[in-house]
Amino acid sequence: MTSVALTIAGSDSGGGAGIQADLKTFQELGVFGTSALTAVTAQNTLGVHGVYPLNASEVEKQICAVMDDFPVTAVKTGMLFSAEIIREVVRTLKYYQAPALIIDPVMIAKGGASLLQNEAVKALKEELLPLAAIITPNIPEAELLAGMKIETAMDIEKAAELLLEAGADAVVMKGGHLDNQEFAEDLFMSASGKKFKLRSERIHTKDTHGTGCTFSAAITASVAKGKRMEEAVRIAKDYIHVAIKEGLHLGKGHGPTNHWAYRSYKAEIKEVVLLD
């Protein structure tokens, strides 16, 4: 049977991040993609030129339309913008006893534009995060959610532990933002005690627009197909790695990644480093 995933996120008119990245990723990984828009952004590779949120009730209607009709097996959240939208998403997902929830806690776009209001961070942490099968913060997002500064490898683990304590079943701390490193390394930790690093060669490119959205959408697609979380994050790491590596070099700023690249990609590039 065809697997169906739902993404609840913002639109990126430039097509590299947000809903557009999610649907492209679902498609490439063989999952039927459905969506609920939270906001429209006027955005391209140079930055965010406008943010136009929908009402919480408009978001709820879209989720209901999808959930009432489709056998959704995984849900992803991206840009949620406000505490009102977060609360409505939480209420609606609880009503449907929604399947596995993958949270990408989107806060700030690469150019610095805010995609989540400051006062909404608390709602994300206290109300949405406890529903998470996995949450995929980058370092600045993890700092705000865990309420601590992250400077060392030990800080990364400590913050991951705090997010598990806050109610997520698993966490991937994305290391894409740590500059000047040979590797792009992410830390996976689960409440059930699994812990490993996903490591790939760091690609030196400015074209990394939408990498976070694409990575968590790839996790969502595999989970929708019934794969275990550890396997889902490994596939996602492969997917994003090759999508960055085979970049399309579109636009004048931070270009999007290449979703077609995974089709012809066979070898495994990433390395899994088990930790005790």
Q: Which residues bind ligand HMH (CB under 6 A)?
A: 9-12, 17-18, 41, 43, 78-79, 106, 109, 115, 210, 212-213
139 touches 173 (CB < 8 A): yes
Q: Helix or strand or coil: residue 275?
A: coil
Q: Helix or strand or coil: residue 242?
A: helix
**Residue 135 belongs to what H/E stretch?**
strand 134-135
Q: Which of 67, 48, 61, 66 is nearest to 10 (CA)?
A: 48
How near is the Cβ of 178 to ligand ATP at its closest, in Å? 8
Respond yes or no: is residue 210 known to be catalytic: yes
CA 126 → CA 83, 167, 212, distances in Å? 11, 9, 22
Compute how many other C-beta atoms are within 10 angstroms of the C-beta atom of residue 181.
10
When binding is defined by CB under 6 A, the residue of 196, 215, 239, 262 that contacts ligand ATP is: 215
Catalytic residue among 16, 212, 247, 255: 212
174 binds ligand ATP (CB under 6 A): yes
Whichever of 69 and 201 has its CB closer to ligand ATP, that residue is: 201
Pairing, β 183-190 against β 195-201: antiparallel
Respond yes or no: is residue 211 known to be catalytic: yes
Q: State the binding partner of 78 from ligand ATP, ligand HMH, none, CB within 5 to 8 A by kind.
A: ligand HMH
CA separation for the pair 137, 106 (Å, rounded): 8
The amino acid at 25:
T
212 binds ligand ATP (CB under 6 A): yes
Respond yes or no: is residue 92 known to be catalytic: no
**Which DSSP symbol is given to 15?**
S
Q: State the binding partner of 242 from ligand HMH, ligand ATP, none, CB within 5 to 8 A by kind.
A: none
How near is the Cβ of 210 to ligand ATP at its closest, in Å? 5
**Which DSSP symbol is given to 54?**
P
When binding is defined by CB under 6 A, the residue of 24, 197, 202, 225 that contacts ligand ATP is: 202
Respond yes or no: is residue 64 known to be catalytic: no
How near is the Cβ of 240 to ligand ATP at its closest, in Å? 4
Q: State the binding partner of 79 from ligand ATP, ligand HMH, none, CB within 5 to 8 A by kind.
A: ligand HMH
195 binds ligand ATP (CB under 6 A): no
Show which residues are catalytic.
Answer: 174, 208, 210-213
